[in-house]
Amino acid sequence: MDERDPSVVAKARSGDRDAFRALVEMHSRYIYSLAHRMTGNAQDAEDVVQEAWLKAHKQLSRFEARADFRTWMHRITVNCSIDMIRARRHREDAHDPSDLEQGPLSERGAEAQPTPERVAASVQISDRVNDALGLLTALERAAFTLRHVEGMSIEEVGAKLGMKTSATKHSIFRAVKKMRAALEPFAQS
Amino acid sequence: MNQHLTEDELILHYYGETDADTARVESHLESCAECQSAKEKLHNVMALVDSAAPVEAPIGFERIAWARLEPALDRNARSGWRTFFWFPQWALAGGVAALVLAAFVAGRFSGGGAVVTTPNATVVASVEPQRVLQTAVDDHLDRTQMMLVELANADVDGADVLAGEQARAGDLVAANRVILQSAMQSGDAQVIDILEDLERVLLEVANAPANATSNDLTDLQSRITREDLLFRLRVIASEMRQRNRIDREAGDRLPRKMPTS
């Protein structure tokens, strides 16, 4: 089944399990990367992927055929990530930034067959950035990602996270300051 | 003009959210080399962030995702909200619906909302009990959410806001308990969890002392935030609305059979 065929979505909407499977197999890698960016770890990202597809399956009848399916899944995934982050918010006190070296780095094996050049670049850039992101609390990371990557306004981020605008601003300020402190030496070179 | 920009101002400027301060910030940046340098450093860091490759899924993840998802799809079809509302106890409707509606109607009356007479509601309940229940529960969640939003955003200097909400909170407690009982029968842990948390907060408001202080209000606001009540309530209310809409669109497919017990 050609996943790029728009009729795949239509078939999935009508309950065709194979069509839905084709959609899952086509978009799960993208969704995983997005979820990982939001949540900051592999286990949560996998859970978000699962939850996002369950939601998509339940809501598929409401998906408009003219809309872009990946964009729709992107929105669902962001929402599921936020749900997870908020549900786990209480664990933040136990968050230990010293996990930085074990946490994100331990997942690097998951990256897809990088070239030698990319490995070098990754060490210099991606790893540093991901390590820096690992310094953020879950809420700071969510607020920063929604503002910086998703391009939402601070007010929209606050609404999404159920926070007042002032609290959202401070989360973003703290996030950017941590990122800056961690990355400025590398940004200058 | 001599006052350097703060880091916060530079961050807001980077995101284009300095709003009314934009002209002042930009004017300062034009004339201050130090702040201009700080701005450039910030932009360099952000460029570095943007250049980072996303973490990719493990090889074969798409197949793993499907293998994990497929059994859950089947379970999902038989659980969650549909279970909650399809549970035989809900089909009983008459008694429970009347109780929910009683609380619902009482809340309406005390809240000064639309007038709904009990006889009419009872007739409706006998015709479409599940749908009436869904509507009543949905309304309860909406009204509770509305009150929590007001409390969460209330000015802490205006502690008398608690006194003003006591009657409304009392009505909501009554409705909450009836729905909680039914949720317990259906065993829906997510709903039970949120309803129990809601009841504690609602009771706190309903039983607030006449001389409640701003500290009492602050404590309550902290609890609303700490327990993520608004967020969790929104999630459940949203799922409710989606479910109701889907059911309406699909026609009334809810089981009509009477319970065996």
Are B126 and B218 within one domain?
Answer: yes
Q: Domain for residue B177, yes or no?
A: yes
pLDDT at position A20 is 94
Single-letter amino acid, residue A10: A
Range of the domain at B115: 81-250
* Chain B residue closest in CA terms to A25: B62
Who wins on pLDDT, A94 or B100?
Answer: B100
pLDDT at position B121 is 45
The C-alpha angle with vertex A152 and arms to A146 and A156, in degrees rounded to 5, equals: 100
Are B35 and B129 within one domain?
Answer: no
Using 50, 70 and 90 to split pLDDT, how confident is the model at A148? very high
Minimal CA separation from B225 to chain A, in Å: 9
CATH number of the domain residue A126 falls in: 1.10.10.10
Question: What number is the average pLDDT over the span B92-112?
Answer: 47
Counting the structural domains of chain A, the total is 2
Which residues of chain A have a CB within 8 Å of the CB of B7?
173, 177
Counting the structural domains of chain B, the total is 2
CATH number of the domain residue A31 falls in: 1.10.1740.10
Closest CB from A28, A153, A184 relative to B45: A184
- Give tens-digit pLDDT for B224-236: 877 777 777 777 7
Contact criterion met (CB < 8 Å) for A54 and B69: yes
* Chain B residue closest in CA terms to A19: B66
Are B104 and B29 within one domain?
Answer: no
Which residues of chain B have a CB within 8 Å of the CB of A172?
11, 15
pLDDT at position B73 is 83
Contact criterion met (CB < 8 Å) for B15 and A147: yes
Question: What is B144-170 written as a DSSP string?
Answer: HHHHHHHHHTS-TT-THHHHHHHHHHH
Which residues of chain B have a CB within 8 Å of the CB of A109?
58
Are A80 and A144 within one domain?
Answer: no
Checking if the pLDDT of B87 tops 90, the result is no
Question: What is B61-117 written as a DSSP string?
Answer: HHHHHHHHHHHHHHHHHTSHHHHHHHSHHHHH-HHHHHHHHHHHHHHHHHHT-----
- Give tens-digit pLDDT for A103-143: 332 333 333 344 555 555 556 788 889 889 989 988 899 99
Q: Domain for residue A110, yes or no?
A: no
Which residues of chain B have a CB within 8 Å of the CB of A110?
55-58
pTM for the model: 0.53
Among A39-43, B9-13, B76-80, B162-166, the minimum mean pLDDT is found in: B76-80
Contact criterion met (CB < 8 Å) for B65 and A53: yes
User: Looking at this predicted complex, what is its ipTM?
Assistant: 0.76
- Give tens-digit pLDDT for A46-79: 999 999 999 999 888 888 777 789 999 999 999 9
